[in-house]
Amino acid sequence: MSVNEIMETWDSTKGFPIVTVTRDYETGSVTITQKSKFDANTKWKIPINFVSSSDKNIDFSETTADLWLTEDSIVVNRNFSTDGWLLVNKQQT
């Protein structure tokens, strides 16, 4: 994905995405969704990163995208701890 492709969704789209993260504590998975207040068909290319209490090397300063949200929603199956904390969007990236 090029910088041009990413920026096009942010530059040419009215408003901003509303991103919701929902944890499934039974499976350890996370569902991430995006929606627009103005247009249900609008999709942004959104960088997503994580850190959790079960990570071996916790680094809040590393903000490289772990994945890109480009659809309505995605399910992330990374076996996040079901009894620990999870931080999405480190440093508000």
Residue 13 contacts residue 46 (beta carbons within 8 Å): no
Query: Is the pLDDT confidence value at 88 over 80?
Result: yes
* Topology at the third CATH level for domain 3-85: Immunoglobulin-like (2.60.40)
pTM: 0.84
pLDDT tens-digit series, residues 32-51 = 999 988 877 888 999 999 99
Spatial contact of 33 and 19, defined as CB atoms under 8 Å apart: yes
| Strands in 1-93 per DSSP E | 17-24, 29-36, 46-48, 50-52, 67-69, 73-76, 86-88
Mind listing the pLDDT tens digit for each residue in 5-25? 888 878 777 888 999 999 999
